[in-house]
Structure 1
């Protein structure tokens, strides 16, 4: 049964990022096995954006991309498993960080500026990561 989705609903996406060992292998798996569609895959091979309905799956290889695969300031390298997280997009990341610091939120890293925008990781009460992301405005 096909679900009727209104324009308002379609404008709301869920973003999830996975750190993977091999982007091409992962893209092939998600597309072939689970029916995802490749929305973007730059020639660098370190990143891909896939979609499945209202889910947007961002895939990064450790050490690649503008920010998501980048080594943390303490030398920790992102790896599959423990780095998976929900991405929440915000219109003004600097303002949001300031608000959250007043609430004593624990951040995993400092603000990172990458190819597609700015991001920071925070920890939920259980230690799970949440990524706050402000995409660069397209011209």
Structure 2
């Protein structure tokens, strides 16, 4: 089994796509007016308009209501990303900080309130833990 993607449901597809294009530095693919994918080497972030929810089952997802999932992306330099994104991000949750498990992380919210973590392993143990994973 292979992990394919994470999908965010939103009422404002264009706004969220533009936000993630800026954060991730890639252009979205738009196979349909109500759906976009931001394809990275390690994963795909899919974004669907709330109009797509009935295709999965009425009420199966509610836009801008996530309070449990953190969308995480591994980067090469958290501090450099922080400087790049500082003027663009409206809601910072945590400025760059080294976590007890050895990752340097910064957390912010996207325009729909989803929590996003950009991180890099910085301790010897964390670097070792990520050594066999796709490079971020």
Question: Under TM normalisation by the shorter chain, which class is it?
Answer: 0.3 to 0.5
Q: Which has the larger share of helix?
A: 2
Q: What TM-score does the superposition give when structure 1 sets the normalisation length? A: 0.39
